[in-house]
Structures are given as structure tokens and as C-alpha cells.
């Protein structure tokens, strides 16, 4: 059965939204975020302090697409008000590791005694802070923050060693909104 479906997403205090073709731009007190929303049967518009999603003849597929769009927009609104944070912990039992951010690269030196540094590029929009044995990754976009934290964790992937003994590495201890 086809229904007219309309969903409203309120913008937080101090959040400004603009729509250029299919690209939604959000600007808030703690940052800026943008994302493209493309679907031929789902229309996005901005009315006052609300973002409107509507579909004149919504089938089950359009309802699921609208739910996904609504979740993405809510995450963006939440991120420009308060950035999404991921916390990682540095664990080094065998060799002292040194971690640094130089330019647009995250550099890990002396991992398991390796002479060559391991590097990963910082995703644009992500901010990395290192304090002691804790690493904090923050971004207004939850997907950028999560992907950067996952890249850092995969940087320390160990093969050909007993993982019960060699537990060195960098591990995610807190995701955006939940603790592990």
C-alpha cells in the first residue's frame, strides 16, 4: 500500500542548515558537517528550524530509506552540537611504542620492535589528540570518527604471533555514545 509519508527532524539550538541540490550542509557551535542524500522518490527540504523528509507515494522501500536518512541527519545534527568521540588505549607490554600525529599522518613507531614506522593517513574532518596512553578521535560526522578509530586499531594488527602473549596494540575502549 502506498502512503504519503512525511517526517520532521528538529534542528538543535544554534544549528543552521542549508540544502544545495542533494547536499545537506549543517553548521553548529562545535563544527560543520555535510552529506549527500540521493533518492528519486524521497525529497528533502528545510522549513524554519526543521528538516523535512517526504515521499508522496511511499512503499516499504521508501519507508526504510527515509528511516536511514532520518538517522543520518540526526547523527549530523548531534555531531555539530557535540562532536562524536572515540577513545583508544595504547597497550605495550614488550616494547615501548611511541605514537604521534605529524601533519596529516598518524605514526606508530617501535611496534613490537619494528624499525620501520607504521603510518595511516588522517581522514579529513577527524581530530586526533594523544594524552599519555589514551588517544581521542573526534569528528562531527560519526562515520568519519568511527572509520579513523578503526584504521588506527587495524594499524596494530598482529600476525604470526600468539595473541594470548603478544597483546600489544591500540584498542578501542569507548565508541561514540557507548562504552565497550
Please report, for the domain that includes residue 153, its CATH number.
Answer: 3.90.930.12
Number of domains in the chain: 2
* C-alpha cell belonging to residue 19: 540544502
Single residue among 81, 98, 116 that ends a domain in this structure: 81
Residues 41, 112, single domain; the answer is no
Residues 9, 76, single domain; the answer is yes
Torsion of CA 9, 143, 127, 104, to 10 degrees: -140
The model's confidence at residue 1, banded by pLDDT at 50, 70 and 90, is: low
pLDDT tens, position by position, 94-118 = 788 899 999 899 999 988 888 899 9
Residues 72, 149, single domain; the answer is no
Alpha helix (H) residue ranges in 34-141: 60-81
Residues 94, 170, single domain; the answer is yes
The long-range contacts involving 3-7, CB below 8 angstroms and separated by at least 24 positions, are 3/57, 3/58, 4/54, 4/55, 4/56, 4/57, 4/58, 5/53, 5/54, 5/55, 5/58, 5/62, 5/63, 5/66, 6/52, 6/53, 6/54, 7/52, 7/53, 7/54, 7/66, 7/70
Across residues 31-55, what is the average pLDDT? 91
Residues 107, 156, single domain; the answer is yes
Within 13 Å of residue 14, how many CA atoms lie on the same side as its CB? 10
DSSP letters along 54-84, please? EEEEE-HHHHHHHHHHHHHHHHHHHHHHS-E
Residues 77, 88, single domain; the answer is no
Single residue among 34, 63, 81 that ends a domain in this structure: 81
Residues 58, 9, single domain; the answer is yes
Residues 72, 100, single domain; the answer is no
Q: Does residue 114 come out as left (phi exceeding 0), alpha (psi in the -120 to 50 range) or beta?
A: beta
Of 11-15, 35-39, 49-53, 73-77, least confident by mean pLDDT is 11-15
* C-alpha cell belonging to residue 37: 542524500
Which residue segment(s) compose the domain that 12 sits in?
Answer: 3-81
- CA 121 to CA 152: how far, in whole Å? 10
Single residue among 49, 81, 113 that ends a domain in this structure: 81
Q: Which residues of 125-138 are buried (b: 16+ CB within 10 A; e: fewer)?
A: bbbbeeeeeebbbb
Residues 67, 122, single domain; the answer is no
- Report the DSSP beta bridge partners of residue 55: 5
Residues 34, 100, single domain; the answer is no
Residues 88, 154, single domain; the answer is yes
pLDDT tens, position by position, 125-174 = 999 999 999 999 999 999 999 999 999 999 988 888 777 777 788 999 99
Amino acid at each position: 500500500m502506498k502512503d504519503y509519508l512525511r517526517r520532521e527532524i528538529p534542528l538543535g539550538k544554534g544549528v543552521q542548515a542549508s540544502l544545495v541540490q542533494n547536499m545537506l550542509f549543517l553548521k553548529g557551535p562545535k563544527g560543520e558537517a555535510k552529506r549527500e542524500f540521493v533518492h528519486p522518490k524521497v525529497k528533502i527540504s528545510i522549513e524554519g528550524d526543521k528538516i523535512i523528509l517526504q515521499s508522496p507515494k511511499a512503499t516499504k522501500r521508501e519507508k526504510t530509506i527515509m528511516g536511514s536518512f532520518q538517522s543520518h541527519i540526526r547523527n549530523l545534527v548531534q555531531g555539530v552540537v557535540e562532536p562524536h568521540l572515540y577513545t583508544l588505549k595504547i597497550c605495550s607490554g614488550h616494547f615501548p611504542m611511541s605514537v604521534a600525529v605529524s601533519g596529516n599522518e598518524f605514526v606508530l613507531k617501535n611496534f613490537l620492535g619494528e624499525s620501520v614506522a607504521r603510518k595511516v593517513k588522517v581522514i579529513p574532518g577527524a581530530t586526533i589528540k594523544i594524552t599519555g596512553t589514551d588517544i581521542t578521535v573526534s569528528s562531527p560526522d560519526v562515520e568519519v570518527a568511527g572509520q579513523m578509530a578503526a584504521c588506527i586499531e587495524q594499524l596494530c594488527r598482529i600476525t604470526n604471533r600468539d595473541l594470548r602473549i603478544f597483546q600489544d596494540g591500540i584498542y578501542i575502549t569507548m565508541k561514540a555514545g557507548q562504552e565497550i
